[in-house]
Amino acid sequence: MRTRTLSAVVAGSATAALLLTGVGVAAAAPATSDKPSKTSAPATAQGAATPAKAAWDGNIYLYYSTAANSAWRAYSGGTADFAADTFNNGVDGYGQRVKNNVNRAWNNDQRWAANIWYNENFQGAVDTFYPGEARQLKVGVRNDNASLSWTYIG
C-alpha cells in the first residue's frame, strides 16, 4: 500500500477547495516553447502535487467527486483509455479507477483545451474544458468517461 504524506493530502484538499469555491484562477506562467506538443503520458504524482499554487502547470486534474477531499489524478497528455488508471491523490475515491468515475475536472493548461470522451479512443460524446475552466462534467460524460485528448488553442 502506498503511503501518502500529509503535504500531498493538504495540497489535494487545497486544490479541491479552489475548485469548489471557484476562487483561484490560474496566473500566467513564464513562456515556454510555442510549438504544440502534448505528450500522451499522465503527469507524475510529484508534478501533480503543486496545483494549490494556482500557477499554470500544463495538467488537467480529474476528480472522483465534488467533495473537498475528493481523490484526483493529473494528466499532462492524452490517453486513449483510462482503464488502467486509478485516482492516486486525495481521500474520497482514492484507488478507484478513473474510467467512468470522473465527476469534475480543472484544466490548468493555458494553451490547450482538454477533451474528455465518453468512449475509448476519443469516440462518442465529448466535454471540452478550456484553459482555467473548473466544473462538473456535463451529464452525458459525468461518471461515463473513457479517454482524454487535447486541442491546441494557442
How do the pLDDT tens digits run along the chain, 154 residues long? 333 333 343 344 444 444 444 434 333 333 444 445 676 545 544 444 434 546 999 999 999 999 889 999 999 999 999 999 999 999 999 999 999 999 999 999 999 999 999 999 999 999 999 999 999 999 999 999 999 999 999 9
Longest CA span, the chain: 41
Strand ranges, E, within 5-136: 59-63, 72-75, 104-108, 112-119, 123-129, 134-136
Residue 32: what pLDDT? 42
Residue 38: what pLDDT? 74
Nearest to 145 by CA among 87, 93, 94, 81: 81
Q: How far apart are CA 86 and CA 101, in angstroms?
A: 10
The 10 Å Cβ neighbour count of residue 154 is 8
pTM: 0.69
Contact call for residues 136 and 104 (beta carbons, < 8 A): yes
